[in-house]
């Protein structure tokens, strides 16, 4: 891997300054230790005009930014359809890359990105910032310490309205559903299952979807069952349809990890506060879950990524690699296509 050992900070170029870039990524880069925002590129001059510091150079063409600026790395925040093109261009320019999730539209395109990074001996990371949430890091630690013994199953639920079908973010929701369905966000939880267990390859995927008569490509509600090659069974229920069609709002999430010697659950404690709970033969513990935003996790990701670039030391497990990103894209693609093939359960009633 190419390093920047003589530098105290690495210079990062941000490609894509839409809503997520504005709300989460740029603030995270500005807050990260060991990193500096060097330039921003976006096709929209209106978006670029919104950057908080106009001393930071702005470009409508990211290729010009790569050519003119002294960069060490690039953070790619364009729509998923552009991830491959921008990432490959950055790697050709000798730049390390962090790319937003989903890593690419297909697993085959993810492999192209991975191989290009390997040829150039450059880092390629994917933004799965939930790996930095305190509760999920604690869960991974409990498992690594052996408190569950041999693990047999992981069950995840994540249900919310996906910004509603109407209102200011309705068009954004529609775009997500045409691209990845509810798994645009649910992909984070599929990645977390592998993060908890230290990796593994997905296999034996089964999935069914419900569209509730929405005219979108992929299901806004999906149920997935799969196994990892280590034998662990996983189920995941993901929804953008939970109260999406009514004015009122509600959401629901849960997690259960089952081992021979214990279990981990995520829910609420006796006082109604969100918590994670370990119940095992070796240890029983409950920990509250604090509120964390996207920017805080991305900031920690940028810090760890920058440290690895500067020192040449390996990335910690909280930084998702290209291989992690490809595994997540693969199961999303398998599940979505199976759900499409099975058809809308709602319309069959």
Among 116, 93, 120, which residue's Cα sits nearest to residue 103? 116
CA 117 to chain centre: 19
Helix (H) or strand (E) holding 276: strand 274-280
Helix (H) or strand (E) holding 222: strand 221-228
8 A C-beta contact, residue 316 and residue 304: yes
If one looks up domain 10-130+297-318 in CATH, what number appears? 3.40.50.720
Q: What is the pLDDT of residues 97-117, one digit of tens each?
A: 999 999 999 999 999 999 999
Instruction: Return the pLDDT at 294.
Output: 67
Residue 21's contacts (CB-CB under 8 Å, 6 or more residues apart) are 14, 42, 47, 77
**Listing from the earlier edge strand, what are the strands of the sheet with 252-259?**
202-210, 221-228, 233-239, 151-159, 252-259, 262-268, 274-280, 284-288
What the block records as the tokens of 184 is: 């645009």
Backbone angles phi, psi at 347, to 5 degrees: -75, -15
The rounded distance, in Å, linking the Cα atoms of 218 and 341 is 11
User: Hey, where are the domains in the chain?
Assistant: 10-130+297-318, 151-259+329-348
Give the count of beta carbons closer than 10 Å to the beta carbon of residue 203: 11
- CATH classification of 151-259+329-348, choosing from 3.40.640.10, 3.20.20.70, 3.30.360.10, 3.30.750.24? 3.30.360.10
Helix, strand, coil percentages (3-state) for the chain, rounded to 5, are 40, 25, 35
What residues of the chain score a pLDDT lower than 70? 4-6, 292-294
Residue 321's contacts (CB-CB under 8 Å, 6 or more residues apart) are 124, 125, 126, 315
Q: Would you call the peptide bond into 327 cis, given omega within 30 degrees of 0 as the criterion? A: no
Calculate the alpha carbon distances from 266 to 83, 156, 223, 252, 284 in Å: 33, 9, 19, 11, 14
Q: For residues 168, 177, 175 and 42, what is the CA-based torsion angle, rounded to 10 degrees?
A: 110
Q: What is the pLDDT of residues 149-178, one digit of tens each?
A: 999 999 999 999 999 998 888 998 999 999
The rounded distance, in Å, linking the Cα atoms of 294 and 127 is 10
């Amino acid at each position: 891997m190419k390093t920047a050992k003589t530098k105290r900070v690495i210079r990062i170029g941000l490609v894509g300054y839409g809503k997520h870039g504005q709300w989460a990524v740029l603030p995270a880069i500005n807050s990260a230790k060991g990193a500096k925002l060097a330039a921003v590129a976006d096709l929209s001059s209106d978006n670029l005009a919104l950057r908080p510091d106009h001393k930071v150079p702005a470009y409508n063409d990211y290729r010009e930014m790569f050519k003119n600026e002294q960069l060490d790395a690039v953070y790619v925040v364009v729509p998923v359809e552009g991830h491959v093109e921008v990432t490959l261009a950055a790697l050709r320019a000798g730049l390390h890359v962090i790319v937003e999730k989903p890593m690419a539209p297909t697993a085959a395109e993810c492999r192209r990105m991975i191989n290009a990074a390997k040829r150039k001996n450059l880092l390629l990371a994917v933004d799965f910032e939930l790996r930095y949430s305190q509760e999920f890091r604690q869960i991974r630690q409990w498992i690594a310490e052996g408190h569950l013994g041999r693990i047999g199953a992981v069950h995840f639920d994540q249900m919310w309205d996906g910004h509603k079908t109407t209102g200011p973010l309705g068009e954004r929701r529609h775009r997500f559903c045409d691209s990845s369905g509810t798994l645009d966000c649910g992909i984070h939880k599929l990645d977390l299952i592998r993060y908890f267990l230290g990796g593994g390859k997905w296999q034996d995927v089964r999935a069914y979807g419900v569209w509730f008569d929405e005219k979108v490509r992929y299901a806004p509600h999906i149920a997935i069952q799969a196994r990892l090659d280590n034998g662990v069974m996983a189920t995941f229920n993901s929804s953008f349809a939970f109260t999406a069609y009514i004015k009122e709002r509600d959401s629901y999430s849960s997690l259960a990890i089952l081992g021979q010697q214990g279990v981990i659950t995520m829910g609420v404690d006796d006082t109604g506060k969100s918590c994670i709970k370990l119940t095992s033969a070796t240890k029983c513990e409950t920990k509250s879950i604090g509120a964390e935003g996207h920017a805080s996790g991305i900031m920690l990701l940028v810090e760890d990524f920058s440290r690895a670039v500067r020192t040449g030391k390996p990335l910690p497990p909280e930084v998702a690699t290209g291989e992690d990103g490809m595994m997540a894209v693969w199961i999303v693609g398998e599940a979505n296509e199976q759900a499409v093939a099975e058809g809308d359960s709602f319309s069959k009633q």
